[in-house]
Amino acid sequence: GRIREGARVVRRRRIPAQARGAEPMIHTVTLNPALDKTAQAPNFKLDAVTRITELRQDPGGKGINVSKVIRQLGGTSTAWAVLGVNTGRYIRETLAEQGIECRAFEVEGETRTNLKVIDPEGGTHTDINEPGPQVSDDMLDAMLARLVAELDAGDIVVLAGSVARGDTYFGWVEACRGAGAKVFLDADGEKLVAGIRACPFLIKPNEIELGSILGRTLDTDEKVADAARELVSRGLDNVVVSMGGAGALFVSADHVVKGGSVRVPVGSTVGAGDSVVAALAYAEQQGLPLEDKVRLSMATGAANVMQSGTQAAPRELVDSLVDKVSVTWL
């Protein structure tokens, strides 16, 4: 492998995890993390005083959410995050309490706080998200250099969430792939489009995001599958398309498989997609066969929808839902 750190070029030999007698490492990257506050506010109305009946707070941001779910599934990961001063310290300490290793890169200013307002009477979920602090290109370059220096062939890198510049993920995907890692990219809009150009191992758009990328409406399983195949033909290994209550399609050059959704009581939908990505990364790390990957990821998504806030569902709950997932080969 080869990385550039300032004017110094660092070279190291990449040894596949299997050759080291170890399973691949999972690294999650969150460039704009958050402290997620989830408030229960019955009969929530605009332009009125609202009384909160319950409030919980969790370390958040898509990559951090992935690490929390991997931990509950029984796996380990290293969470790389850009963190501010006081709120960042709370996130770092809370992750440590949960047994999650965190590589923190400190930035001036505060890590953002996101408020999730749940109205159990009206059945609504409202997200109010702050902007994150400014992160310099130099810090991002230093962070990427350190990450690449730790990667070995076969490791898994999950890039997830918002970034300051739309083209950031292109460079990160390219660098991590160059180190032999399998890159899972979970982003939207121009960030996803930029990352796709570097051919990550897996992306997980929903059918609306996928249709937007290709400039067409995807309103049937066949259209979704054809669109996913088109991206695979451009060099991606796996495209997983989430379709809400209709389930998800898992597409590669060799297969198109549909995983059915499991009906469960909804606690919070925040982080549901992150939990699916977490299960897919964990399943890849464990070398699970395709059908088991589909069942585990769909069950993990359903179990996390049942939780309050962005806390990760326990493995026992996930396991209780696995057999309820339908798997159809298309």
Q: Considering only CA atoms, which of 5, 51, 278 is closest in space to residue 147?
A: 5
Hey, what are 325's tokens?
């997932």
Instruction: Report the helix count and the strand count for the chain, using DSSP H and E.
Output: 10, 16
* Phi and psi, residue 205, nearest 5°: -80, 165
Name the residue with tokens 């292109």.
Answer: 170
Whole-number Å distance between alpha carbons of 287 and 305: 26
Q: Which residues touch 102 (CB under 8 Å, ≥6 apart)?
A: 78, 79, 80, 81, 91, 92, 95, 96
- Please name the amino acid found at residue 131: P
User: What stretch of H or E contains 158?
Assistant: strand 156-160
Task: List residues bridging with 238 in a β-sheet.
Answer: 202
Cα Rg for the chain, rounded, in angstroms?
Answer: 19
Q: Of 100, 62, 132, whose CA–CA distance to 304 is shortest? A: 62
Give kind and range of the element (H or E) at residue 150.
helix 137-150
58 is known as an active-site residue: no
- Rounded to 10 deg, the angle between the 62-73 and 86-97 helix axes is 10
Name the active-site residue from 58, 119, 274, 292: 274
Rounded to 5 degrees, what angle do the CA atoms 80, 190, 207 make? 95
Give the residue numbers annotated as catalytic, written as ranges: 274
